[in-house]
């Protein structure tokens, strides 16, 4: 025969040998396991007949499939000793670049205040924490914050927060300018983040309510008794915080559960800062020193509780503005201020205690501080070292509705007697104030707060008009509304 005639027969014989080889291999494998079937050559129907061994679950009439020549694993099955191919190792994820680790969030507060009652002989309505309290005022954007933060590495995190609703100092009509509120780095000494240094412009660890974000606070403004300690609650400095892991979990839980926490400021905090107040120029070479010790705990009942003690000391330089002392004579600047020859400042020191019973559902919050600091004398002629004392107490309740969000009714009393050092001339203030309010959280993005305030407080506006007395008492009632959006 010619080679062209023999070639198909040779190929057919090779295929037959391969099929027989596969059948022998499968038979040996099945017999070795004690179960299975033995494959025989093709029958007249073009498929393998099968022989079932004693341990096989197949019947004598079942068929075994023949591997297709195009199967990827066809050749591998010819050698039973050859191991299965190894799976490809997982691709290593590339580490994220530092700018990919930032998160962006923020909130905005829209306010409307109305003076409902102004008693005869009262000073005009005024609140140093809210410029929309007073005559000829309507809607106000109280805060417009954007927060850029993230863990740059295992040993450093950054937190950057500007406010876009700031008034220009000294301007009677310019508003909604940008100003830094926070700009700091947390430098961790360990990967567990128990020990860290906070460097930059940040909150001073004095007063639980001062450290609590305005987005979480129930009353529209912080209490004057503790808020008068640090202008804008912030300053430039270096702070050390120790936060063991159990405390980290505590501070995180009270925020995640919606219990109005203040954030992680450590079990122990210690630091040094300029002392003049956030976003204000430092006026002397003296540093303020602050320390705080907190005791966060969860009772066996599941109730969250926090107690703390804190204090600071330093010297504060008071800025002045001309006034008529007690409304008599021409306007003059009080002595003891920067402009009248006292750049070194006046003793400024306080000690405060904190107790917070988180709302589960009933809550209680109280802080009190005592100390000495700059204050205008009774004759209104000089700023001197004066005693101070005051605080607040608040009862609150957390009610979760089935489908209408969360309700937080609250009642707060504020008392303060002492100098208001962040204001010009550090006017000695007398404040007694009751506030009843309700915060309604429709959803995580929107909140509405309504409050009614009964107040008797010193108007801290310096009046430079001859014959008109500054710092009289504002006695009246306010209706206050705030709508907050979170994003």
Q: Identify the CATH number of the domain in which residue 331 sits.
A: 2.40.160.10
> Does residue 290 carry a pLDDT above 60?
yes
Residue 87 clears pLDDT 60, i.e. is over it:
yes
Question: How much is the average pLDDT of 227-250?
Answer: 98
Residue 64 and residue 103 in one domain: no
- Does any domain span residue 155? yes
**Residue 93 domain flag:** no
Q: Is the pLDDT of residue 81 over 80?
A: no
Q: What is the pLDDT of residue 167?
A: 86
Are residues 287 and 325 both part of a single domain? yes
- The full DSSP string for 209-247 is HHHS-TTT-SSSS--HHHHTTSGGGEEEEEEEEE--HHH
Between 96 and 271, the more confident residue is 271
Residues 271 and 412 in one domain: yes
Q: What integer pLDDT is reported at residue 27 of this predicted model?
A: 45
Are residues 336 and 304 part of one domain? yes
| 22 and 105 belong to one structural domain | no
Could you give the count of Cα atoms lying within 13 Å of 487 in the half-sphere of its Cβ?
Answer: 8
Which of 46, 78, 110 marks a domain boundary?
A: 78
CB 130 within 8 A of CB 224: no
Q: How large is the average pLDDT for residues 151-163?
A: 96
d(CA 480, CA 457): 16
User: Is residue 425 a part of any domain in this protein?
Assistant: yes
Who has greater pLDDT, 249 or 41?
A: 249
Number of domains in the chain: 2
Specify the residue for token string 């905005």: 108
328 and 379 together in one domain: yes
Residue 137 pLDDT > 50, yes or no?
A: yes
Percent of the chain at pLDDT > 90 equals: 76
Same domain, 176 and 66: no
Q: Is pLDDT of 277 > 50?
A: yes
Contact in structure between 317 and 422 (CB atoms under 8 Å): no
Look up residue 323 and give its DSSP letter: B
92 domain-assigned: no
What pLDDT was estimated at residue 95? 81
Q: Which residue has the higher pLDDT, 98 or 147?
A: 147
The pLDDT of residue 85: 67
Kindly report which listed range (81-90, 245-254, 336-345) carries the lowest average pLDDT score.
81-90
Same domain, 103 and 194: yes
Q: Which two tokens stand for residue 151?
A: 């863990």
Instruction: For residue range 297-317, list pLDDT tens digits in order.
Output: 999 999 999 999 999 999 999
Residue 118 and residue 39 in one domain? no
Residues 123 and 62 in one domain: no
DSSP states of 433-469: EEEEEEEEEEETTEEEEEEEEEEEEE--PPP-STT-B
pLDDT at 171: 73
Per the prediction, the chain carries an average pLDDT of 88
At 383-411, the pLDDT tens digits run: 999 999 999 999 999 999 999 999 999 99
Rounded to whole angstroms, the Cα distance separating 449 from 309 reads: 30
Q: What is the pLDDT of residues 328-378, one digit of tens each?
A: 999 999 999 999 999 999 999 999 999 999 999 999 999 999 999 999 999
Among 17, 45, 78, where does a domain finish? 78
Asked if the structure places residue 90 within a domain, the reply is no
Q: How confident is the model at residue 21, as a pLDDT?
A: 55
In a domain, 88, yes or no: no
Q: Is the pLDDT of residue 84 over 60?
A: yes
Please state, in angstroms and rounded to a whole number, the distance separating the CA atoms of residues 298 and 324. 54
pLDDT at 89: 77
ω before 361 within 30° of 0 (cis)? yes
The answer, yes or no, to whether residue 218 has pLDDT greater than 90, is yes
Q: Three-state SS for 276?
A: coil
Q: Say yes or no: 118 and 70 in one domain.
A: no
pLDDT at 100: 85
Specify if 468 maps to a domain.
yes
Based on the fold, state whether residues 55 and 163 are members of the same structural domain: no
Structural domain of 303: 98-486
Position 278 scores a pLDDT of 85
Boundary (domain end) residue, out of 26, 45, 78: 78
Q: What is the pLDDT of residue 174?
A: 78
> For residues 84 and 77, what is the distance between their CA atoms, to the nearest angstrom?
10
> For 277-294, what is the mean pLDDT?
94
Indicate whether 160 belongs to any domain.
Answer: yes
Q: Report the pLDDT value the prediction gives residue 101, as an integer from 0 to 100.
A: 86
Quote the pLDDT of residue 239: 99
């Amino acid at each position: 025969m010619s080679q062209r005639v023999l070639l198909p027969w040779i190929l057919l014989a090779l295929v037959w040998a391969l099929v027989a080889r596969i059948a022998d291999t499968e038979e040996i494998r099945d017999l070795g396991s004690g179960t299975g079937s033995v494959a025989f050559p093709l029958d007249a129907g073009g498929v393998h007949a099968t022989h079932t061994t004693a341990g096989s679950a197949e019947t004598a009439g079942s068929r075994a499939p023949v591997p297709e020549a195009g199967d990827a694993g066809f050749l591998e099955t010819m050698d039973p000793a050859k191991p299965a191919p190894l799976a490809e190792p997982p691709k290593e994820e590339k580490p994220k670049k530092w700018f990919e680790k930032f998160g962006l969030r923020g909130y905005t507060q829209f306010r409307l205040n109305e003076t409902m009652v102004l008693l005869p002989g009262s000073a005009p309505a005024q609140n140093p924490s809210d410029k929309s309290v007073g005559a000829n005022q309507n809607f106000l954007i109280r805060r417009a914050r954007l927060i850029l933060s993230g863990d740059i590495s295992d040993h450093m995190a950054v937190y950057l927060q500007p406010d876009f609703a700031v008034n220009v100092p000294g301007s009677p009509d310019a508003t909604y300018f940008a100003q830094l509120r926070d700009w700091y780095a947390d430098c961790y000494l360990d990967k567990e983040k128990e020990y860290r240094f906070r460097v930059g412009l940040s909150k001073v660890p004095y007063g639980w309510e001062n450290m609590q974000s305005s987005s979480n606070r129930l009353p529209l403004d912080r209490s004057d008794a503790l808020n008068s300690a640090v202008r804008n609650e912030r300053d430039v400095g270096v702070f050390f915080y120790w936060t063991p892991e159990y405390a980290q979990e505590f501070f995180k839980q009270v925020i995640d559960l919606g219990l109005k926490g203040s954030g992680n400021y450590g079990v122990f905090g210690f630091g040094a800062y300029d002392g003049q107040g956030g976003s204000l120029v430092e006026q002397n070479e003296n540093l303020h020193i602050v320390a705080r010790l907190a005791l966060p705990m969860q009772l066996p009942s599941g109730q969250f509780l926090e107690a703390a003690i804190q204090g600071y000391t330093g010297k504060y330089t008071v800025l002045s503005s001309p006034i008529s002392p007690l409304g008599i004579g021409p306007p003059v600047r009080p002595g003891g201020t920067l402009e009248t020859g006292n750049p070194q400042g006046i003793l400024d020191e306080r000690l405060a205690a904190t107790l917070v019973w988180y709302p589960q559902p009933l809550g209680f919050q109280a802080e009190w501080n005592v100390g000495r600091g700059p204050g205008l004398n009774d004759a209104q002629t000089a700023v001197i070292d004066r005693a101070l004392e005051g605080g607040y107490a608040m009862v609150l309740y957390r009610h979760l509705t089935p489908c209408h969000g969360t309700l937080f009714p609250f009642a707060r009393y504020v008392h303060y007697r002492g100098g208001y050092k962040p204001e010009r001339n550090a006017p000695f203030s007398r404040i007694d104030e009751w506030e009843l309010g309700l915060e309604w959280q429709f959803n995580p993005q929107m909140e509405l707060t309504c409050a009614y305030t009964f107040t008797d407080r010193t108007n801290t506006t310096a009046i430079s008009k001859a014959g008109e007395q500054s710092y009289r008492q504002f006695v009246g009632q306010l209706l206050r509304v705030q709508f907050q959006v979170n994003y």
